[in-house]
Amino acid sequence: MTDRVPQFAIIAGSGFASFGEDAPGLDISTRFGRPSSTIRQLRYDDHSVYVLLRHGDDHSIAPHAINYRANLAALKLLKVSDVIALNTVGVIREQARPGQLAVPAQLIDFTWGRAHTIYDSPTAELDHIDFTEPFAPALRDSLMAASRAADAECHDGGVYGVTQGPRLETAAEVDRYERAGVDYLGMTLMPEASVARELGIALAPLCLIVNYAAGRSDSSIHADIAENTMTAKLQAMRVLKHFFDEPVNPNPA
């Protein structure tokens, strides 16, 4: 048996509009409709990486309005096996701070009303996916290995709470999310992660921590985001460079 050769894709969020902008764009449609953007194909020596912009080419699609199913189904049509989900988060936990990165290990879904499953037709076969571990362990390990190689400040583990948005939280909501065990707050990881699992695609998040969660800092959230997004983004780009240009063994002997 030969080893599986992974086909990677990046689903990029806020701040990554220029990612691969010179690469050719593929226009794909799926049974769930069209994905958020054309899919850019970045070519490397012996492989390629697809890039899809979750919020659209002009960053106009709000988190609740993203067609997550079409995005993942389009990548599936391109035979993508592994997705790195880039997204920005606010941080509750004290050990992490804005400007840094995180690869959470768990999530709690607080979203509602989103088309969240491919099993939406009585005639289609139904599967209850195992979602005990919502992210692909090998991909998480590889992202952490690339982070170490890139000397990036990246936190391993923690819980991502997925909020509905597009508004940010109240201070009382953040207290409640903390009591629920949440470390990071973002708006887009669900149903992205579960639809990927339904389609048999491995997915792991690489989160850019861009602000302290509401009520957890003296500065305003928007000032926080403006100040920290570039630092986090540069760290994420370093991680991706190591991940794709200088792959390292995530489990050295």
Q: Which residues bind ligand HPA (CB under 6 A)?
A: 88-90, 163, 168-169, 185-187, 210-211, 213
Q: How far apart are CA 130 and CA 212, in angstroms?
A: 32
Closest contact distance (angstroms) between CB of 248 and ligand HPA is 29
Our CB check for ligand HPA shows the closer of 83 and 89 to be 89
The structure tokens listed for 120 are: 């939406």
Closest contact distance (angstroms) between CB of 20 and ligand HPA is 22
Our CB check for ligand HPA shows the closer of 49 and 185 to be 185
CB 167 within 8 A of CB 47: no
Our CB check for ligand HPA shows the closer of 89 and 136 to be 89
Give, as one character, the DSSP assignment of residue 62: -
Our CB check for ligand HPA shows the closer of 135 and 184 to be 184
Q: How far apart are CA 70 and CA 31, in angstroms?
A: 7
Compute and round to an integer the Cα radius of gyration of the chain. 17
Closest contact distance (angstroms) between CB of 11 and ligand HPA is 15
Closest contact distance (angstroms) between CB of 208 and ligand HPA is 8
Q: How far apart are CA 37 and CA 52, in angstroms?
A: 6
Pairing of strands 154-156, 184-186: unpaired
| Residue of minimal Cβ distance to ligand HPA | 90
